[in-house]
Amino acid sequence: MQTDFQKYHTTLKKLADVEHAMAVLSWDKEVNAPGGGAELRAQQIATLSGIAHDIFTNAAFGDLLQQLNESELSDFERRNIVRTLHDYQRAQSFSQDFVIRRSRAVSAAYDAWLKAREANDYQVFREALANLIEIKREEASLVGYDDHPYDALLDEYEPSMRVAQLDVLFSDVRRQLVDFVRELRQRPQVADNFLRQHFAKDDQWNFGLHLLENMGYRFENGRQDISPHPFTTSFGASDVRVTTRIDEKNFGSMTWSCIHEGGHALYEQGLPVEYYGLPAGKYLSLGIHESQSRLWENNVGRSLPYWEAHYSNLQTRFPKQLGAIDVKMFYKGINRISPSLIRVESDELHYHFHILIRYEIEKALLEGKVEAAELEDYWNSKYKEYLDVDVPDAKQGILQDIHWSYGSLGYFPTYSLGSFYAAQFFQQAQKDIPELRQQIQQGDNSALLAWLREKVHRHGQLHSADDLCTQITGEPLNFRYFMDYAREKYQGIYGR
């Protein structure tokens, strides 16, 4: 006979099965599905969303959670129950009708976003986005909040994080990072024109596969495909897939998306498969998830030791384009500091300006200070204010991100949180693995991956983000580590 905890786990495995079936449909929609099937696919996903909601919010399951919460449990069992109760109480805020309406609104918005990008016209997306914004305002109201409606949405992606904390964090970004970047931009610029030559699609693709394999990504438990916006999706630790996009005139687009998504995928492949369905078998938060992608993309993938290991391979694939460029010139070029229009192609310092803009816009949307009809002009004004760039068209502006078409308001701040966690984690990894730099220089990432498996991946949701950070580094998230990393790296690139 099953114990109560085993009954609880059985229910969560059933829920995970339905959620991952939805994930398969969503992955297929973005990678393979014909455009004419969008309406029926939206209906299928909406139906499964309703089924998943029913499984999780079932009164009998709620009673079981309360009974377990009042029982004698092991520490492991208690941590799982506490996290599930948090999620259960949030889910109880929504009726099945609301869940289905939200799912349909997301599917309609995604389809409209694709068409708008193809037409390079925000107006094609505007109505669907306006509907989705109203849904998200309703969601915040249903969940409830103490200080700001954005808190209710943020909690889905970064539990316990609040606007009051983010306002302080982004104030630090303005006070420290903005001035440092301005100082760098006054120095002689490094060359990166060699990155914008013709790099054949197939050769880029094969190099990306090489980088993923070298990181430790298990292709027997995953695959890579092409999509309009790179992403990682997981159907459980034994099937984790990534996508990339390739621009034949920009080498960096594919390379950084492969390494970035590879970092996400390594986290998912490293979660304990025996805890499938349980909080212990799920990623902790999107900020921690992003710490894994940013650590690999920036702290490792944009480092000199990394390219000392891989540059000869790259030159062999592209002798005409890179044969005359030495590894140090390449390293400086891939770390050039320059304001840009596209978030995912931004350098790692200006990147946080892009996140700041989206954070301010999302807050304004939730507050009702700006509406979808005026959003494109509002976006463009923010880019002029923070990056001093003029947005030439919608595709390079407000239509560049997929997130709003998914209804993912509250998601963007986790990108900056991830970079800051990554800097703090990587500094600790260097302390714990004294030969780490030399290992990376030799193309050996096994010790780093093992360290991440031990320190981050295996814990699932058994700790809060702050507790995990403290457990790993001795203190909660501290912006100082990112600034120390940035100053050391970029002072070396741009001269002191």
3-state secondary structure of 225: strand
| 19 residue type, one letter | E
**C-alpha neighbours within 13 Å on the C-beta side of residue 310:** 26
Asked if 424 and 246 count as a contact pair (C-beta separation under 8 A), the reply is no
Helices and strands in the chain: count of H runs, count of E runs: 22, 3
* Strands of the sheet with 240-244, listed across from one edge: 224-226, 240-244, 232-234
Q: Tell me whether residue 261 is one of the annotated catalytic residues.
A: yes
Integer Cα distance of 105 and 102 in angstroms: 5
What single string gives the DSSP state of each residue in 272-340? -GGGTTSGGGS-S-HHHHHHHHHIIIIIITTSHHHHHHHHHHHHHH-HHHHTT--HHHHHHHHT-----
Q: Which of 30, 261, 297, 376 is catalytic?
A: 261
Integer Cα distance of 388 and 476 in angstroms: 34
What is the rounded radius of gyration, in angstroms, for the C-alpha atoms of the chain? Answer: 22
Sign of CA dihedral 2, 52, 404, 113: positive
Structural tokens at position 371 = 């509406």
Element of type H or E holding 397: none
Catalytic center residues? 261
